[in-house]
Chain A
C-alpha cells in the first residue's frame, strides 16, 4: 500500500469514529495528510453539482435544430411532437457547431437561453452524450461487431451506467465517489462527508471510501427526543445505538443513525449563523434543493470544506405520455432553478469554483408513440459555471432523420460522445492530475478526444 493510500484510509477510519469531533483534531489530521498528498491543491474552493433528471430527459426537444434542412429532419421524425420552428429560442453560439446547423432551446427555457447567449457565457451544451464501451457506428451496432453497454434502454441499469461512467463495471460506485476518494483529504473537516446529496441515495456519489451524506431541502434533521434536556433518555438511546452489534445490518443502521446525529448539529449550527443570500430561488422541488446547496456553499468556511460534490434530482422526465405539456413544465422548473443557482454563485463570488452539470439515464426516441416518446440512448446535456467555456455546443450534434446514420432503430440515437469523455472533462478541471485520469476513467483511452474542451484550464 502506498503511503498516500495508508493515510487516506487512516483518515477514513477517524472520520467514521463517533469520538472524533473537535476541529483541532480535524486540522491535525489534515496537516498529517498535507505532507503526503498531491491532491491537496492549495486554497481554492471547488465544487461540482450533479443535476439528475430522472426518467430520461428528451433533450431532442430541449435543443432543437433551427436551420431548415436539420429542422425538417427533426420535424419528420417527431411528427405531432415537433416544436414549431418559430417557438424555439434562438442560440447564438460563438463557434459554429460541428455540422453547421443552428439551434434553439425549448421555449420553456428563456433564462438559460440568456445565459448561453451572453458574453462570458457560463453555459455550454454537450451534444449527444451517452454510455458507450467503444466508439460505435450504426453499421457496427447493427452487425454487433462492437460491444455496447449491458441493458441499454433500461432506466435502472442506464442510470447506474451513466453515473459509474464505466459501462462495463457493476460495482455501483460513481465517478463523484471516486473523485471524493481522491480528494476528501483536502478538507480540514474530516467528519462531514465531501459528498452531500439533497435527493437521497444515488450511485454518482458512492465511492469505495467516501459515502454521501444526505440532507433535506431545509437542512439536516435531528432526533428530537434525545436533546440534551433529557440526559437519561439520551444516554440510554446512545447506549443502545453504540452497543457492539452482532449483525451487519444492525451495525449499518447504527452507523447511519450515528452519522446523522453527529453531522446534524454541525450543519444546522453553520446554517443558523449564515449571512443570508439575497438571490431568490423558485419555490419548486429543484429550486429548494439548489437553494440548500447554495446555502451549504455559503457556509463552506464554517464547515471547513475545500472540495465538495453535490447531488440534486428532479423526477418526471419519463414522458411516454403527454410529453409536450409535461416536459415544458419540467424544463421550466430546470430553467428557473439553474439560473437562480448560477446567480447565487455569482453573489457568493464562487461562480468560477462551482460547476453544475446535468445527467439523465438516456435520451428519448426521435420516433413517437402517439403523444410521447420511449427510451433512447444518446442525449444532450448542460454544463454551467464560471469556469465553463460557454456559448458553445460541443461534440457532434446527431442526424435526427428517420433511419438516418445515427438512428440505431426506432429513433434511438447512437451517442457520438461517451459519458466517460463528458465526465473526464469536468474531472480534469476539478483537479484530477493527468496521471490519475485512467484510474478514475479506465475506458477513457478508447475515445479519441479525452477532453471535450468545455472547461477552462484548472
Chain B
C-alpha cells in the first residue's frame, strides 16, 4: 500500500492528472473475507495464478480470493481433465486433415480456456521432463498418438509417480522416441545386444539423475567428490530389463515367430481403415521370447535398496522384470529431490533453497498418509511453501525467466484471445518462440535444468535454464511475436481473418484515458504488483504522452502499455 500511495503521489505531482475511480480497483482488497491460508490480496492471488496456471485473469483472481487457496486447489484436483485426443478425433471425424498442427491447436485451447488450469500446467511441466518430441520422424506421423501421450501426462498430473513412470515407459510413443519398442534380448552370434537408450535416459532424465543427492537436493559428497548414481553396468542391466516389448494385440498366429515380432502391424486392419494404428494408443505388450530373462541384471544400488546390492536375479518375465526395475528406481532416495527440483523450477523459481527442495521432497517421500510419490500432494507442497508464497526481495536474485510459451499464453488469457470459430491455429509457435509443446529438439528438453549463462549469473552460481533458449535472435523474435499478437491481432482489426486468434481489447478501452489506472491494472494482471515505481512512472508518462481523442487512440495506449510491459526485464523475470 505504501508503494502504491507513493506511486500515486509521484504520478500526481509529475503529471497533474486527475482520477476519481482508480483507487477502487484494489484499495479495498481487504474487504474480502480472507481465508486463513490466503490469498490476502489481489497481488497474492495473481502471483499464485502465475505459478499455477497459464496466466492470471481478473475473473480468476477474484474467484481465487473468494475461494482461498485450499478450496481452489481442491476444486482444480476435482475438475475433469481436458484431453487433446478427443479434440483431434473430432476434427478427423469432421473430415479435416489432422497433423501435429492439430495437436498444437488442442494444446493452446486447453492452455487458454481449459478449466483444469493447474492440471494442464503441471502436465506441461512433466512434458518438459518425460520428453517425447514430434521432431522425431516416427512420432511426427502419429499426431493423435502424440496427443494421447500428452493426455497421459494430464491424467497423471496429480496421480502417483510410480504409475506415471510405468505408463510413460509402456507408451508406444515413448517406445519409439527412446527405442524401447522392439528392443530385444542379446544375440551373441549376431553381435546384437539390448538397446541402451531408454535405460540411460529413464535414469538420467526422468528419475534419479547422474549424481547421488542428499534429501534436500544438494550433492552427496564422498571424500570431497560427488558420487555417481549408476555406472555402465547399471545401464546394461536396465537395457536387458527393457527388452521384449512390441505392439499390443499382435496377432501371434505362429506362436511368436520372428517374422511376427518383426512384422506385427500396429492394428488389426490395414491402413487406411479406421483402427489401423489402434496399438499406438495402448501400452506395449510383452513377448517373452524376445525378453532377456536369463541374465541377472544390475539395477540401482543405494542405501536401503531391496534387491540385494541392486541385483535382479535372472529368470523373470518381461512384466515382472519391468515391475522390479521401476520399483527399484521409484524407491531411490534421489527421486524425491529430483522431481521436487524440476517442479519448483518449472512453476516457481530457478534457484530454490535446499530447504525448499527438502520440504517438497519430504512430501514426495510421504504425503502424510504414508504414501510415496503422490504428485498431487507434491504439487501442493511446491505451491503452498512459504518460499513460493512470499514475494522475494530483488536482491535475493530469486525468480525465473518466463518461458516464451507462458508469455504468450499470459497475454492471451489476460486479454481473452480467441478466433471466431474458437480454434487456436497456433501451429508454429516454435518458429518465433523457440518452443512448442512436445517439440523439443532432443530428449534434453528445450533447456537443461542447471544451465547458467556465462557472465554475471554463472559467476554468482545462479542457474537460469530458460536463458539457454534466450539468444540474441530469440530475444528479438519473442518481442516481435508479442508485437504482432498485441498491435496487430486484435478483435476489430479489419485486416485480420475470421480464423485468426485475436485479443479482445474492448473492455480495456475504458481504462485507457487514465494512464495511472491503466498501468495499475496491468501491474496486477501481468506483474502481480511487483512493478517498480520507476517502471510505473515510465509507463504512465509514456501513455500520458499518447493521443486520447478517440477509440483508436485509446486502443493504441492499451497496446503500447501491454507490449512495453511484456518485453521489459522486470516482467520477463517472474518473481
**Chain A residues within CB distance 8 Å of chain B:** 54-55, 76-80, 150-157, 172-173, 177, 197, 200-201, 206-208, 211, 213-216, 220-225, 232-233, 235-237, 239-241, 243, 245-257, 259-261, 263-264, 315, 318, 320-321, 367-370, 372, 374-375, 402, 409-411
Q: Check B469–A247 contact: CB distance below 8 A.
A: no
Residues of B within 8 A of A410 (CB): 193, 236
Check A251/B569 contact, CB under 8 A, given A79-B190, A256-B472, A374-B196. Answer: yes
Q: Is the CB of B236 within 8 A of A321?
A: no
Residue contact B200 to A220, C-beta cutoff 8 Å: no
Verify B472–A367 contact, CB threshold 8 A: no
Complex interface bits, B178-219 against A, C-beta within 8 A gives 1, otherwise 0: 110011100000111111110010001000001000000000
Picked from B182, B454, B477, B483, the residue with its CB within 8 Å of the CB of A206 is: B454
Return the contact of B195 from the options A150, A257, A372 (Cβ within 8 A): A372
- Told that A79-B191, A237-B564, A240-B569 touch, could you supply 6 new A-B pairs with CB distance under 8 A? A152-B232, A241-B569, A247-B397, A248-B460, A249-B350, A254-B569
Q: A250 → chain B, closest Cβ, in Å?
A: 4
B184 close to A253 (CB less than 8 A): no
Neighbouring A residues of B464 by C-beta, 8 Å:
249, 252
B143-184 contacts to A (CB < 8 Å): 176, 178-179, 182-184
Cβ-defined contact, A223 with B542, below 8 A? no
Give the CA-CA distance A320 to B479 in the complex, in Å. Answer: 38
Task: Give chain B residues whose Cβ lies under 8 Å from the Cβ of A201.
Answer: 451, 453, 468-469, 471
- A232-B542, A247-B397 as given contacts; A260 in contact with B472, CB under 8 Å: yes
B429 at the interface (CB under 8 A from A): no
Interface of B with A (CB < 8 Å)? 138, 176, 178-179, 182-184, 190-197, 200, 204, 210, 228, 232, 235-236, 350, 394-401, 441-442, 444, 448, 451-458, 460, 462, 464, 467-477, 479-480, 483, 487, 532, 534-535, 538-539, 541-542, 545-546, 560, 563-564, 567-570, 572-573, 575
| B191 and A240 contacting across the interface, CB-CB below 8 Å | no
* In the bound complex, CA of A246 to CA of B399 (Å): 12
Closest 6 CB pairs of A and B: A246-B394, A214-B471, A369-B195, A260-B472, A236-B542, A221-B476
Q: Is the CB of B454 within 8 A of A211?
A: yes
- Which B residue sits closest to A244, measured CB to CB? B534
Contact A409 B232 (CB under 8 A): yes
Cβ-defined contact, B193 with A154, below 8 A: no
Complex: A127 Cα to B61 Cα, angstroms: 63
Contact partners of A233 in chain B: CB under 8 A:
542, 560, 564
Kindly report which residue of chain A lies nearest to residue B225, judged by CB atoms.
A150
Q: What are 11 inter-chain pairs, A to B, with CB distance below 8 A?
A: A79-B192, A152-B232, A243-B535, A246-B395, A246-B532, A248-B462, A251-B569, A252-B453, A257-B475, A369-B194, A372-B195
In the complex, which of the residues B455, B542, B545 contacts A255, with contact meaning CB atoms closer than 8 Å? Answer: B455
Cβ–Cβ contact A216 & B473, under 8 A: yes
Which residues in B have their C-beta under 8 angstroms from that of A247? 394-399, 573, 575
Q: Are the C-beta atoms of A249 and B399 separated by less than 8 Å?
A: yes
- The answer on a CB contact under 8 Å between A151 and B228 is yes
A208 to B458, CA, bound (A): 10
| Chain B CB within 10 A, most for which of A200, A235, A257, A370 | A370
Choose among A177, A200, A249, A315 the residue that contacts B469 (Cβ–Cβ < 8 A): A200
Shortest beta-carbon distance from A12 to chain B in Å? 11
B471 touches A375 (CB 8 A): no
Q: A214 with B453: in contact, given A79-B191, A249-B350, A372-B179 (CB under 8 Å)?
A: no
CB pair B535–A240 under 8 Å, yes or no, is: yes
Contacts of B210 in A (CB 8 A): 151, 154, 157
The answer to whether residues A253 and B573 also contact, given A247-B394, A248-B456 and a CB cut-off of 8 A, is yes
Docked complex Cα distance between A235 and B182 (Å): 60
Do A215 and B444 contact each other (CB < 8 Å), given the known contacts A240-B564, A241-B569, A368-B191? no
Complex CA–CA separation, A222 to B398 (angstroms): 29
Residues of A within 8 Å of B564, CB to CB, are 233, 236-237, 240
Number of A-B contacts defined by CB within 8 Å: 222
Residue of A nearest to B460 (CB): A248
Complex CA–CA separation, A247 to B393 (angstroms): 9
Asked whether, in the complex, the Cβ of A154 is within 8 Å of the Cβ of B200, the reply is: yes
Task: Give the residues in chain B near A172, CB-CB below 8 Å.
Answer: 452, 454, 458
Nearest residue in B to A217 (C-beta to C-beta)? Answer: B473
How far is A225 from B535 in the complex, measured between Cα atoms in Å? 19
Q: Is the CB of A54 within 8 A of B442?
A: yes
Q: Is the CB of B195 within 8 A of A374?
A: yes
Q: Are B444 and A156 in contact (CB under 8 A)?
A: yes
CA distance A154 to B534 in the complex (A): 47
Q: How far is the CA of A247 from the CA of B184 in the complex (A)?
A: 52
Q: Of all chain B residues, which has the CB nearest A248?
A: B397
- Among A54, A222, A236, which residue has the most Cβ atoms of chain B within 10 A? A236
| Residues A215 and B456 in contact, CB atoms below 8 Å apart | no
Q: Assess A225 versus B545: contact at CB under 8 Å? Given A236-B539, A240-B538, A370-B184.
A: no
Check B444 against A249 for contact (C-beta < 8 Å): no
Whole-angstrom distance between the Cβ of A402 and the nearest chain B Cβ: 6
B567's nearest neighbour on chain A, judged by CB, is A237
Take A214-B473, A252-B464 as given contacts and tell me if A225 and B200 are in contact as well, using a CB distance cutoff of 8 Å.
no
Q: Are B401 and A239 within 8 A (Cβ)? A: no
Contact A263 B204 (CB under 8 A): no
Cα–Cα distance between A79 and B474 once the two chains are bound (Å):
45
**Which residues from B are CB-within-8-Å of A77?**
191
A79 surroundings in chain B (CB, below 8 A): 190-192
B455 touching A213, Cβ below 8 Å: no
Q: Which residues of B contact A151 (CB under 8 A)?
A: 210, 228
Cβ-closest chain A residue relative to B462: A248
Q: Check A225/B483 contact, CB under 8 A, given A236-B538, A252-B455.
A: yes
B466 CB to nearest chain A CB (Å): 9
The answer on a CB contact under 8 Å between A253 and B569 is yes
A15 to chain B, nearest CB (A): 12
* Distance in angstroms between the alpha carbons of A220 and B480 in the assembled complex: 13
Q: Which of A54, A55, A220, A402 contacts B472 (CB 8 A)?
A: A220
Query: Closest residue of chain A to B199, judged by CB?
Result: A374
- Other-chain contact of A224, B396, B480, B545, B546 (Cβ < 8 Å): B480
Interchain CA distance A221-B473 in the complex, whole Å: 6
Nearest neighbor of B484 in chain A, beta-carbon distance = A224
User: Closest residue of chain A to B236, judged by CB?
Assistant: A410
In Å, the complex CA distance between A208 and B396 comes to: 24
